[in-house]
Structure 1
Amino acid sequence: MLYSTITGIGHYVPKNVVTNQDLTEVMETSDEWIRERTGIEERRYIDRTKETTTTLALEASLRAIKDSGIDKEEIDFIIFATLSPDYYFPGSGVLLQRELGIAKTEIAALDIRAQCSGFLYGLSTADQFIKSGMYKKILLVGAEVHSVGLDFSTRGRGVSVIFGDGAGAVILEATEDKEKAVLATKMHSDGTYAEKLSYMYPGAHGGYFIEKYGLEGFDVDYDQDNNAYGGVFLNQDMLDKGQVFPHMEGQAVFKMAVRKFPEVILETLHAAGLTIADLDLLVPHQANLRINQFVQQTMQLKPEQVYNNIMRYGNTTAASIPLALSEARDEGRVKKGDVVTLAAFGAGFTWAAAVLRWGK
């Protein structure tokens, strides 16, 4: 029987460090206010003239490829998870293929838009492809550039202080050894709460869902003369009202996250034939340190059983789990044979988890 195993891992973050104090120069906030609500102390932002989502992914991918010991030409599938692609289309997967210099191999490149859960959706997808025998060596990447699309004003501080830029990547290969494999993955979603954490403008919805569900705080683009939703993608009014920035209802996200995190972790451990007592390390999505601490306490885990690095990087959404897992490996926090659980919750709402036995 075939399983998938992580044979290489790497991460990359921009060199530009932005502290909480730096943000006080462009908005009404404070280091204390940010730390108290999020646990974040600093984050990384790209050099806008030299870096993009794809270039961050390239650096992380090259490190993962080197760590695995394979040649990049051996990669037979690319999965790219991001909510901040370089282009609206085409996706970043083909751009990464080009930057790696392997476009001539004409391998497939799949982009995944599951936001904070994107890497785990990608991991589950890669796992199934490998188990089926369709692909043998898959490059899975999570990469994000948030800094170019945030509202750096007091109006936007509730969102803008949270996010940072970064990338993480893994190489997944086929193995028959279950003692170093992905043991189980679980994925969920609930679109009821889609607009609670959203980036709706520019978009093609034209206000249809806003009208249908009676959403407050959003504008409807309705053409009275033709009795139809206009479908305006972007206009000056959207820009003036600051609607082109992410929207988040923090309390709603927090309440759902602290409920769904433990549920999906236990569900996935059960699917792997394990219990919380078997867990060596939990690497949660780095959305908010307070969420992770709440989950740790709820599940009665020791501090050393949970890895957090949001203090240094902020929330890098789809990149946060591979970035944290890579750092945990580098720091010796995850060792060969360890049972590692990865878990994420984010916009959609989507949530997911994976249990694996570390093989490197």
Structure 2
Amino acid sequence: MLKFGVGIAITGSGSATPEQVLSNDDLAMMVDTSDEWIKARTGISRRHLAPSSGSLSQLSAEAGLKALAMAELAPNDLDLILLATSSPDDLFGSACQVQRLLGASRAVAFDLTAACSGFVFGLVTAAQYIRTGTYRNVLVIGADILSRWVDWNDRGTCILFGDGAGAVVCQASETGDRLLGFEMCSDGTQNSSLNLAYQGQEKFINTKSEITQGNYQFITMNGREVYRFAVAKVPEVIEKALYRANLSAADLDWLLLHQANQRIIDAVADRLKIKSEKVISNVCEYGNTSAASIPIALDEAIRIGKVKDGDIIATSGFGAGLSWGSAIIQWGK
């Protein structure tokens, strides 16, 4: 057992996206839209979609293996696997299937559901297990296949979402703590702005007992309200996390937001007075991959050498719930 108060290091990253691509021009043949219209309002050009033969567990395991390789760990070195997702293969959860696919027989595994905030919430959760000395090596995965739950006749939502998975390895460190500060928030009064709701019909199973049975409906969203929420709340939560880290926006090397919409990313950066060259964005290629968006973008930035050891990054996830949060992290060992 580690001593209380041990820090964490973020030592590996990985990502996986399906090969199948749906472009804006493809969408224009399905609904009343155009490449120009979508780009102007969202910044999205393409999104990657999981085929019917694919699974969330497979994408998650692929991302996880890449993160483990970078961290120079074997699957059996893992103590805990946290899978942040809102679209598991099994309603009871998919983390244990990811554990099986990885061959991480020593690790406990469970799902965490916080929609587009899931990766940030998962990272903070992992840190608590490490800081208290419970576990040494934790794999945090953000993954979603929201194409399963999109109404492909609704141009307000079908243009936005893509599928993918991203992962990071968090390890115990006796020499420092690279989760510098965080803040997490929820507001259930705004739940109707973005949801994927269950809808059931009454069913009598005998003469005196009534239940409901049904299915989950397609994603519904009030785009205007979500935009207002994000632009107002995300800069605020990042500033609170920076305060906890005893830092300011000027100390940041990178701003990495949930890749929901380029207009939101630009507006938040502008409010924080962060220059565009310090903003990491790949929403153009992948669209909104929910809990996967931050770790996919982080992994790409690390692998091309944009993010370097010691760089300080402000991350922020925001979305359904409504939930939002920020984690200020420093990359590397």
TM-score (norm 1): 0.87
Q: Distance in 1 between matches of 2:322 and 2:131?
A: 28
Aligned residue among 268, 291, 303 for 1:318: 291
Kindly state the Cα deviation for residue 101 of structure 1 after the two structures are TM-superposed. Answer: 2.0
Deviation of 1:339 (Å)? 1.1
Within 5 Å, give how 1:101-140 maps onto structure 2. Answer: 101-103=103-105, 105=106, 107-140=107-140
**AA in 2 matched with 1:291:** I
* Secondary structure at 1:234 match in 2: strand
Following superposition, the deviation at residue 326 of structure 1 comes to 0.5
Residue 202 of structure 1 and its aligned partner are, at CA, apart by 4.2
Do 2:119 and 2:291's aligned partners in 1 also have CA atoms closer than 8 Å? Answer: yes
Q: Which residue of 2 aligns with 1:68?
A: 71
Q: Letter of the 1:282 partner, please give it.
A: L
Q: Deviations over 1:104-150 (max 9, x none)?
A: x3x32121110000001100000011000000000110111122221
Which of 321, 326, 331 does residue 304 from structure 2 map onto? 331
The aligned residue for residue 212 of structure 1 is none
Alignment-derived partner of residue 26 in structure 1 = 30
- For residue 175 of structure 1, the aligned residue among 173, 184, 189 is 173
- 1:231 deviates by 5.2
In structure 2, distance between residues paired with 1:131 and 1:120: 17
Query: CA offsets per residue over residues 202-239 of structure 1, 9 Å max, x none?
Result: 46xx7xxxxxxxxxxxxxx799xx9x9x652317xxxx
1:316-340 C-alpha deviation (Å, 9 max, x unpaired): 0000010011111112221111111
SS in 1 for 2:212: coil
Aligned residue runs from structure 1 range 1-360, under 5 A: 1-49=5-53, 51-89=54-92, 91-103=93-105, 105=106, 107-153=107-153, 156-178=154-176, 181-202=178-199, 232-234=212-214, 244-359=217-332
Q: Which stretches of structure 1, 4 residues or longer, exceed 4 Å deviation after superposition? A: none
Helix, strand or coil at the partner of 1:344: strand
Deviation at residue 176 of structure 1 after TM alignment: 2.0
Q: Mind listing any 5+ residue stretches in structure 1 that lack a counterpart?
A: 207-220, 236-242
Instruction: Give the alignment's TM-score, normalised by structure 2.
Output: 0.94
Distance 1:160 1:345 in 2: 19
| Counterpart residue identity of residue 129, structure 1 | Y
Structure 2 distance, partners of 1:326, 1:142, is: 12
Q: Hey, what's the Cα distance between the residues in 2 that align with 1:193 and 1:233? A: 26
1:240 corresponds to: none
SS of the aligned residue for 2:218 comes to coil
Alpha carbon RMSD of aligned pairs, Å? 1.9
User: Any conservation in 2 of the 1:201–1:245 contact (CA below 8 Å)?
Assistant: no
